[in-house]
Amino acid sequence: MYLFVGSAPAALAPCRNLSASGALQAIAARRRALANGATCRARCVRVRMAADQDDTDGLLNRSKLDLDAPDMITSENAFELKGQDMLDALQKDWDYDAVQKRHFDADGNFIPPWVAYAPPEVKARTDLKKILLIGAGPIVIGQACEFDYSGTQACKALRDLGYEVVLVNSNPATIMTDPETAERTYIEPLNVEVLEAIIAKERPDALLPTMGGQTALNLSRRLAVEGILDKYGVELIGANLKAIEKGEDRLLFRDAMEKIGVPCCPSGIATTLAEARDVGKVIGSFPLIVRPAYTLGGTGGGIAYNPEEFDVLAQGGIDASPVSQILVEKSLLGWKEYELEVMRDGADNVVIVCAIENLDPMGVHTGDSITVAPTQTLTDREYQRLRDMSIAIIREIGVDTGGSNIQFSVNPENGDVIVIEMNPRVSRSSALASKATGFPIAKLAAKLSVGLTLPQLRNDITKETPAAFEPSLDYVVTKVPRFAFEKFVGASNTLTTQMRSVGEAMAIGRTWIESFQKALRSLETGRAGFGFDGKDADATKIGQEKLESILRIPTPERIFSVLTAFRKGMSVKDVFELSKYDPWFLGNLHEVYLAATNLQGRALESLSAGELLAIKALGFSDIQLAFILGCTEREVRLYRKSKGIRPCYKTVDTCSAEFEAYTPYLYSTYESGAVWDDDDTDDIVGMMESETPPPTGKPKIMILGGGPNRIGQGIEFDYCCVHACFALRDAGYETIMVNSNPETVSTDYDTADRLYFEPLTLEDVIGVLEAENPDGVIVQFGGQTPLRLAVPLERYLASDEAQAAGVTTKILGTSPDSIDAAEDRDRFIEILEDLQIRQPKNGIATSYQQALEIAEKIGYPLVVRPSYVLGGRGMEIVYENSELREYMDSEVVVESEHPVLIDSFLSNAIEVDVDAIADAQGNVVIGGIMEHIEQAGIHSGDSACSLPTVTIPYEAMVTIRQWTVALARRLKVVGLMNVQWAVQGSTVYILEANPRASRTVPFVSKAIGKPLAKIASLVMAGKTLTELDFTTEVIPSHISVKEAVLPFEKFPGADVLLSPEMRSTGEVMGIASSFGAAFSKAQLAAGLKLPTRGKIFLSLRDIDKEAAVPLARDFVDLGFTVVATRGTYSYLVSQGLNPPCVELALKINEGRPNILDMIKSREICLFISTPDRKKEHKSGVALRRAVITEKVPLVTTVAAARAVAQALRISTSQGYDVRAMQDYHPQYASTQK
């Protein structure tokens, strides 16, 4: 039944703050309204009632309470299902005294239902003292920094309740692995053997498996199945073994759904290729979907359109599944996809936190789809059906306490519903739902896991409503994924059921189209919104047949083809038939097209205030309007503000403004899409009321985040932003975070004092500056995104526009001019020459002719790259004129607004990274010096590195330290600086300097035990390094190794050879007393399980041949057989290494069985190949792809091969030691965050 307890119009107004008689009059008015069939948009509480409950108190069942707040629900629809129960209850003879006592205090004030009917308070479990949490490991596609967010929330929640937390994770670039986050923090490889060693050492009482993504869930299952948890008396909390297996095992899940009558897609389970073929025959038609069990982000799955593709996918899925199981199911391509985030407590209370709709139809992984919350195209009847199914599913699966994500598919033609799958854990969508609603799923799930219940937990934002009060949204949220196909040449960009996006941006608006346009410009891909930005001017030249093909095939750019279709005269219906995007969304996109088309040809000054408001309410950016109207972005902004059209800021409050929000979590909107007949600016300004909180009197500092994750700019920069928030808040500043990434800790509503979920564009940042007027803004921590804004922001802050708006903000830290001096090659060379710092021969070119002249002067090989880029975007090594011409004509150069930098490539040099901090007085302290394991020429983000250095000569280290200090002082760095050096023998060359936070800051901080980002933020706020007691470089006694994690398995067709362009998505860390042990740990953490016996393939280019013999001898001494192709084999034999220690392997074109056959037969346990890039043959690419497919460890440099040999020697001679961060850095042993 339903009982109204929230806001409602007219006769169905809320009863709060009424006298007893007034409340009863309102109830009577509701009865009359209901009897007359009135409708409202009231919050409803849905309650189970026993048949014999007939008193007023029985309206709420205390033990089993399901709260239901479907967005825009109508009483008419609600009571169509449950109306008679409500009418019967309301038509009773009310006991006035009972109502008075239950609902009103002594002063006659109304008592909210969650207080009046509060269940007995439940205490958190006291039999548990120490709880183990397993993190998600490195950032990979399908499992990103959302699990740092959830894990950090869980740690804080459990520690607040008095529990001791033991955390295990291998990713140093996370807040959760800060020593302050848990009592005991282990940065160790995530595998069963390591976890057992930690459990034996720490003896936790319980394991919470649901906070570390698929990695933690799979490991927890193995610990339980293998008896390790029972052996040490560890209890699974949050989700027990049965629930994990029923949720993840495809067969058990299907059986569970059949038991409760929830429809599943026609499908079958297979553990062999033959079984998979049999299932396919029973289903009877293609396409078929393959879904492996217990895998992440759809890994190993996909869509097969014919038997040949099916065989490849089925075998690949079986190999990818840890339990060798796949689900083969009928394709539901074209059906709509929805997700529901569900939470359940130990008293069986269930809430639906958020319903999410995928814009892309079935067939595209939800992580690769544009998603919207709340759902926009479901009828209430359909929503209620999904809701009821979700509650039944979470109960049947047996998730006792915590959250789950359940995915459904709905046939748009007849409304049929199919359940696709569920995740019995906190998921990627959980993080999105948390940010979309303000409901902290992971935090509450952690508290539920120790016995607390939803009704007794308070909402952090309202401070009044219980967690059992379902969120209600008076805004719309859109998430758009970001891809990196440009990094993986040869890989198909078609989207399927296997996730391949590397990040995502989220935006909030009052309407879907407003949030959608904001989300597109949040992606930072050069788009200012849904077209009309000059980026798709040639799109209309596409032929009709080609356009229809583009609309049929899901790709990252398909959504922009919808605009092309409208421009070519296609209707909403036409586009729907091809793309299967819902007509409701297409109708909104068509409205944008019409609005922009109607503006074309008009002058800016001809627009009235009302017209401007209406067009801005559709989400148009100032850049789009400037393009449409033929003027500049600044002209649009100034004219808009002259008409009083500014963004207003609204609060995410979980309750559609029904209760006061105490946590400033804000978004911008233009409020109304109404077109005004007049130009009454005063009326418009009066209507757009902002909800920005009043000043607190504290000095304010605004921090610009890094936007969506991408290769080259990811969690490491968010880590720095979060540390800045923590340090500045502790120092008495009010912190303001601006970011658009829903995965991160920085966008948690309690990280900063105020959170603005906004695109990181000049327009949006200026809007926040004018709303807040902070004392300072920090652009140094978010990577290249805020750095690009530094100069235009400085220009704005010095302008009359800022003065008129009352903005007196200063850019803190290193000045934009110094940042530009480090990026501008001419200015930088001048500085280096003045300081007498050695650099490779170099030049700058804006054309091929200039580049050719530089090449003739310097000589090949050359390193070429555009300036002002991050992650080595567009960086290549070229060996001859034809390659140089091809590069200068490439898209990455043509699209860049900056010249190309050309440097002599330093062969066989070792690269060195330095992170340093400088204060305003010119004091400089080196944070860490890292030696790269791979030679120069491989991007630093893709190379393993060690701290301290291992092989760099002493004289080179002295030079590096001296030049780093001199450069920081000359650039007047205030805050962090990263410098990259190359060392040839003992000769040092500078490669580049970046006066900002680098991706190595978290790793260095963990290695030396000093929070560099916190120190840097306080330095930028005016402190000196002496005041902060950081005056000397810390050189630890232990060795730390960082290793990159690469996503090649997600991009079949792309070569896996490392290059100057970064392609890794994440990193891991190994810590030990020796380099070999630390490197071994890092490899294990990165998923590269080093072999203990077998055959090692060795193939070295001519320049590396000298290293072949000592390498081969090392491996032979360790008990391995070395396999080599003819050139390397002959050289080894000539140097005294003979069979059976070495074996000859045939190349692909030399006969069978050849080396490719040996790889596929899994005879090779380690593959070492240093290809000559000039002589590279297609067979080399095929071999490396086969190695990745067969999961054989791959090494492509001599330096890394030497490190592997050291690691193998250590791992075979020493036991495995686990040690907590608090033991490496005792100063953290008793800290509390």
Residue type, 577: E
DSSP states of 520-561 as a string?
HHHT-SS--SSS-SSSSTTGGGS-HHHHHHHHHS--TTHHHH
Would you give the DSSP letter of residue 1150? G
What does the DSSP 8-state code read for residue 193? H
Place of tokens 């050291």: 1206
Cβ pair 1097, 1154 in contact under 8 A:
no
* 400 backbone dihedrals φ, ψ, rounded to 5°: -70, -45
What type of residue sits at position 432?
A: L
**Of 942, 932, 1086, 933, which is closest to residue 187 (Cα–Cα)?**
1086
**pLDDT for res 826:** 87
Cis-peptide into 481, omega within 30 deg:
no
Domain residue ranges of the chain, discontinuous segments joined by +: 2-116
N residues, the chain: 1233
The pLDDT value recorded for residue 439 is: 92
Q: Can you give the pLDDT at residue 162?
A: 96
Of residues 419, 395, 424, 422, the one with CA closest to residue 409: 419
Which residues 6+ apart lie within 8 Å of 229 measured at CB? 199, 207, 223, 235, 236
At 1156, which helix (H) or strand (E)?
helix 1155-1160
Cα 928 to Cα 930: distance, rounded to the nearest angstrom: 6
Structural contact between residues 690 and 666, judged by C-beta atoms closer than 8 angstroms: no
Contact 893, 874 (CB under 8 A): yes
Write down the pLDDT at residue 1228. 77
CA distances from 1046 to 413, 931, 944, 1056, 1173 (A): 42, 20, 12, 9, 20
Weakly modelled stretches of the chain, pLDDT under 70: 1-106, 110-120, 297, 672-687, 868-873, 891-897, 1173-1179, 1212-1215, 1229-1233
Full strand arrangement of the beta sheet holding 1164-1170? 1142-1144, 1121-1124, 1095-1100, 1164-1170, 1194-1195
pLDDT at 895: 56
* Measured distance CA(738)–CA(709) in Å, rounded: 15
Q: How far apart are CA 647 and CA 258, in angstroms?
A: 51
Peptide bond into 866 cis (omega under 30): no
Query: What's residue 687's pLDDT?
Result: 65
Look at residues 429, 419, 362, 365 and name the one whose alpha carbon lies nearest to residue 390. 419
pLDDT tens string 1020-1079:
999 999 999 999 999 999 999 999 998 887 787 777 778 888 888 999 999 999 999 999
SS3 labels along 414-428: CCCEEEEEEECCCCH
In the chain, what's the furthest Cα-to-Cα distance? 104
For residue range 331-350, list pLDDT tens digits in order: 888 899 999 999 999 999 99
Q: Using CA atoms, how far apart are residues 592 and 283, in angstroms rounded to an integer?
A: 42
Please give the Cα distance from 897 to 139 (Å, whole number): 31
Question: 10 Å Cβ neighbour count for 372?
Answer: 23
pLDDT of residue 661: 81
Question: In which residue are the tokens 């050695």 written?
Answer: 838
Whose CA is closest to 910, among 944, 879, 886?
944
C-alpha to C-alpha distance for 548 and 553, rounded to whole angstroms: 9
What is the gyration radius of the CA atoms in the chain, in angstroms? 31
Structure token digits, residue 312: 């490849």
Return the beta strands (E) in 452-609 as ranges.
476-482, 503-509
pLDDT given at position 143: 87
CB 1067 within 8 A of CB 1003: yes
For 728, residues 6+ apart whose C-beta sits below 8 A from its C-beta are 701, 735, 1017, 1018, 1021
Contact present, 415 and 642 (Cβ < 8 Å): no
Comparing C-alpha atoms, which of 406, 266, 281 is closest to residue 327?
Answer: 266
DSSP run (H or E) holding 945: strand 945-947
Q: Residue 271 burial by CB count (10 A; 0-12/13-18/19+): exposed, middle or buried? A: middle
pTM of the model: 0.87
> Which contacts qualify for 647-650: CB closer than 8 Å, 24 or more apart?
647/764, 647/767, 647/771, 648/688, 648/689, 648/690, 648/691, 649/690, 649/691, 649/692, 649/756, 649/771, 650/475, 650/510, 650/690, 650/691
